[in-house]
Amino acid sequence: MHLARIRQQTPDGPEPRVIASDNPERGWVDVRSHERLRRERAGATPAAAARIAAAVVPASMSEALANGEAFVDAARAALADASGDTSLDSAPELTNALDPAAYRDFMCFEEHFSFGYRWQERPVPEIMYELPVSYFGNPRAFIGPGDDVPWPHYTRRMDYELELGIVIGRACTNVTPEEALGYVAGLTILNDFSARDIQAREMTGGLGPAKGKHFACGAGPYLVTLDALPWERGLRMQARVNGETWCDATSAEMIWSIAEIVAWTSQGEQLQPGWLLGSGTCNGGSTIEIGRELSPGDVVELEIEGLGTLRNTLGIPREGGWWPKPRRPASHA
Amino acid sequence: MHLARIRQQTPDGPEPRVIASDNPERGWVDVRSHERLRRERAGATPAAAARIAAAVVPASMSEALANGEAFVDAARAALADASGDTSLDSAPELTNALDPAAYRDFMCFEEHFSFGYRWQERPVPEIMYELPVSYFGNPRAFIGPGDDVPWPHYTRRMDYELELGIVIGRACTNVTPEEALGYVAGLTILNDFSARDIQAREMTGGLGPAKGKHFACGAGPYLVTLDALPWERGLRMQARVNGETWCDATSAEMIWSIAEIVAWTSQGEQLQPGWLLGSGTCNGGSTIEIGRELSPGDVVELEIEGLGTLRNTLGIPREGGWWPKPRRPASHA
């Protein structure tokens, strides 16, 4: 099953709608519309059917996943119904599929992270081989397919990062890798846009990336359930800039599996439906390691086998903006 | 103004209620109850008044702050009304005041971070004096006054961190320090609980703290607006363990001001109502720098002048739990 969202106009502004598909090339179904009709057929008045459908299939993908079986049943029923009453155009304009309340990014590709540490003039730390290391990203920075990438005033060195995104489907705590996949809703494409100049400076502080990542993160164009993907043998991952291929890699090179990432993250905390975990950049999946550079207006397309293509255009660098004034260390006072 | 929450029993389980006070020693007012009565006096039917009051004063503090002037007016009106109809017992049992959708922690105290880098066997990086560096914490890990601190299986070395918490009141982007305080709802106490053994290992990866922080973060007992605090001259900050004072410091030693922290964080992204920014640990505000150690069952009290006391009891270490199996680097294959 593929899950995505479109934007519906309302008198109070656009509202996202969850849509589902068995095969995006053959078309999509509006899940809430189908649920409303299904409830009417089961004896609800039209107004009551609309209320129930809005609760079972909310505008937020995270809230929809949080509904558990109620939402999954509604989506599967919509796909099973061949009547076509709630079918959309075969190629509707997709918006942000995901609205994760939390987003954490890992580093699972050895060639990429080995390059990254050389770039920081450091040896590869042993911890990278001991457990999956991660940081939290900004959950408000998500942009969807077709969106422009804001270019903040504090950077001149923009980059993309081609990653596999893992979407949590059910709340879980302290699970093992054997149990973990049962809590995964599916996979998506992730573009962890990076401002390399400020990132390199900040990371010398040891608290991880911050402003270097918080301005934008791309996800989508849709979420695909694990049963509909050949994920176990690895998925081909490609990046194109202005139509030219800059990366051609595979998720088979992850040194930590999807199940291990979810299991480790769930230790000592409860993961929530809709939360997004990133694989980290695939090998060769950013510009720094291939000696290329991006410019305003560049079109970045990330494609992962079975997950579609996520296309975004880089914006124009913002002028102005505030910088802190440096402090004098007390030891120099 | 002081804002807090209590837990009200309902047939569907406990629901938080926002309460307000001019002086917690003299008592609190239930803001939604007062708003409901105010709407009735303005001509709404009882049912309609209850609906409006629930929208204007929701259960979530972040959603309440997101309501802007509607909520602030309701809270101030409740405090101004001396009729006493909606007054609570003078010392109601407070729960989690805050439910931030995002939480970011800084390092603004030089003595503390200088110790921290020595503890990591590193020199203090220059970036610490160039701009405020931060990381995102786990927004699902918040516990409130009186709550037990979960002790995850993966640590034996638990610590507290005494911090000043800054609560965002209005959405803001690219603001200057001169503008920043207008977007701050108020201050609170923050206890950024830390698992030092796993934290020290993880941070060698350079992505910042992760499991070392994600299991618990204390906040509260309430939020106090800036106009009700002598914050400009600095606030006294104390930590007590089982009644013994282990730290006595002041927020006057922050090398980045509240306004600078908010302004820098707002560059290139939009801060949201209810988001929490931590000052970082005050000087002497954790056990590692004073050579002490915590045990299960210890009672940790953090007190900040004007912000009350946040008291939590350490839980019992969880047994079992999953650990990843180390990988072999490709270079060693």
Strand A217-224 and strand A142-143: the pairing is parallel
Q: What is the DSSP letter of A71?
A: H
Above 70 in pLDDT, residue B195? yes
**Sign of the alpha-carbon dihedral angle for B96, B98, B102, B104:** negative
Report d(CA B133, CA A166) in Å as an integer. 28
Between helix B69-80 and helix B31-41 the angle, nearest 10°, is 90
Look at residue A90 in the predicted model and tell me its pLDDT: 75
Distance, CA of A75 to CA of A61 (rounded, Å): 12
Would you give the DSSP letter of residue A318?
P
pLDDT digits (tens, 9 = 90+) for A12-60: 999 999 999 999 999 999 999 999 999 999 999 999 999 999 999 999 9
Which residues of chain B does A131 touch, with a Cβ-Cβ cutoff of 8 Å?
A: 202, 323-324
**φ, ψ at B118 (rounded to 5°):** -60, -40
Q: Is the peptide bond before A16 cis (omega within 30 degrees of 0)?
A: no
Q: Which residues of B touch A318 (CB under 8 A)?
A: 174, 268
Q: What residue type is B177 in one-letter code?
A: P
Range list of H helices, B184-274: 196-203, 258-265
Q: Cα–Cα distance between B151 and B146 in angstroms, integer?
A: 15
Answer yes or no: are the C-beta atoms of B109 and B279 closer than 8 Å.
Answer: yes
Cβ–Cβ < 8 Å for A27, A21: yes
Number of other CB atoms surrounding residue A273 within 10 Å? 23
Stretch among A18-22, B4-8, B86-90, B186-190 having the lowest mean pLDDT: B86-90
Could you give all domains of chain A from N- to C-terminal order, each with its CATH number? Answer: 2-95 (no CATH), 103-317 (3.90.850.10)
The answer to whether B184 and B169 have CB atoms below 8 angstroms apart is yes
pLDDT > 70: percent of chain A: 99
The CA-atom distances, in angstroms, between A252 and each of A247, A256, A286, B131 are: 15, 10, 18, 39
Q: Calculate the average pLDDT of chain A.
A: 96
Describe the crossing of helices B46-56 and B31-41 by its angle, rounded to 10 degrees. 140
Rounded to an integer, what is the distance from CA A85 to the centroid of its chain? 31
pLDDT for A87 = 87
Question: What's the predicted TM-score (pTM) here?
Answer: 0.97
Q: Which of B109, B179, B258, B267 to mutate to test the interface with A (most CBs of A within 10 A)?
A: B267
Q: What is the mean pLDDT of residues B130-136?
A: 97
CA A258 to chain centre: 14
Which of B142, B149, B199, B322 to mutate against chain A (most A CBs within 10 Å)? B322
- Say which of A136, A141, A175 has its CB closest to residue B138: A136
Q: Do A269 and B141 touch (CB under 8 A)?
A: yes
Measure CA B165 to chain center: 5
How far is the CA of A308 from the CAs of A145, A240, A266, B31, B83, in angstroms? 10, 13, 28, 49, 62
pLDDT, tens digit, 9 for 90 and up, residues B69-117:
999 999 999 999 877 777 887 789 999 999 999 999 999 999 999 999 9
**Res B332: pLDDT:** 55
Please state, in angstroms and rounded to a whole number, the distance separating the CA atoms of residues B287 and B281.
Answer: 11
Alpha-carbon distance of A172 to A177, in angstroms, equals: 12
Say whether A267 sits in a helix, a strand or coil. coil
SS3 A222: strand
Pick from A6, A191, A152: nearest CA to A89: A6
Are A35 and A56 contacting, i.e. CB atoms less than 8 angstroms apart?
Answer: yes
ipTM (interface predicted TM): 0.96
Average pLDDT score, chain B: 96
Residue A7: closest CA among A220, A314, A225, A316: A220
- How many Cα atoms sit within 13 Å of B149 on the Cβ side? 28
Which residue spans within chain A are E strands per DSSP?
A: 2-8, 15-23, 27-30, 94-95, 103-106, 134-136, 142-143, 148-151, 158-159, 162-168, 172-173, 184-191, 194-195, 217-224, 236-241, 244-250, 270-271, 276-278, 299-304, 308-317
A1 or A120, higher pLDDT: A1
Return the pLDDT at B330.
86
Q: Which pairing describes strands B94-95 and B142-143: parallel, antiparallel, or unpaired?
A: unpaired
Instruction: Report whether pLDDT(B198) > 50.
Output: yes
| Residue in B with minimal Cα distance to A265 | B211
Amino acid at B143: I
Backbone angles phi, psi at B223, to 5 degrees: -110, 135
Q: Cβ B139–A102 below 8 Å, yes or no?
A: yes
Beta bridge partners of A239: A247, A302
Residue A91 pLDDT: 84
- How high is the pLDDT of residue A333? 47
List the single residue in A with minimal CA-CA distance to B137. Answer: A136
Q: Which residues of B touch A111 (CB under 8 A)?
A: 330
Has residue B333 got a pLDDT over 70? no
Mean pLDDT of A312-321: 95
Distance from the Cα of A13 to chain B's closest Cα (Å) equals 18
pLDDT in tens, A45-98: 999 999 999 999 999 999 999 999 999 999 999 999 877 777 887 789 999 999
The helix (run of H) or strand (run of E) holding residue B48 is: helix B46-56
CB atoms within 10 A of CB A90: 11
Instruction: Note the Cα A265 to chain centre separation in Å.
Output: 17
Give the closest residue to A31 by CA, choosing from A1, A53, A55, A50: A53
- In the structure, what pLDDT confidence band is assigned to residue B331 with cuts at 50, 70 and 90? low
Confidence band, pLDDT 50/70/90 cuts, at residue A310: very high
Nearest residue on chain B to A263, alpha-carbon basis? B322
CA B260 vs CA A67, A322, B179: distances in Å: 41, 10, 10
pLDDT in tens, A141-198: 999 999 999 999 999 999 999 999 999 999 999 999 999 999 999 999 999 999 999 9
A107: left (phi over 0), alpha (psi -120 to 50) or beta: beta
- CB-CB neighbours of B240 under 10 Å: 17
pLDDT at residue number A321: 93
> Omega into A125 within 30° of 0, i.e. cis?
no
CB A94, CB A61: distance < 8 Å? no
Distance from CA of A226 to the nearest CA of B (A): 22
Longest Cα separation, chain B: 78
pLDDT bracket for residue B280 (50, 70, 90): very high
Write the pLDDT tens digit of every residue in A256-275. Answer: 999 999 999 999 999 999 99
Amino acid in position B225: T
pLDDT band for position B209 (cuts 50, 70, 90)? very high
Chain A positions touching B321 (Cβ under 8 A) are 174, 267-268
The rounded distance, in Å, linking the Cα atoms of B17 and A278 is: 36
State yes or no: pLDDT of B259 exceeds 90: yes
Mean pLDDT of B288-317: 97
* Interchain CB distance below 8 Å, A210 and B134: yes
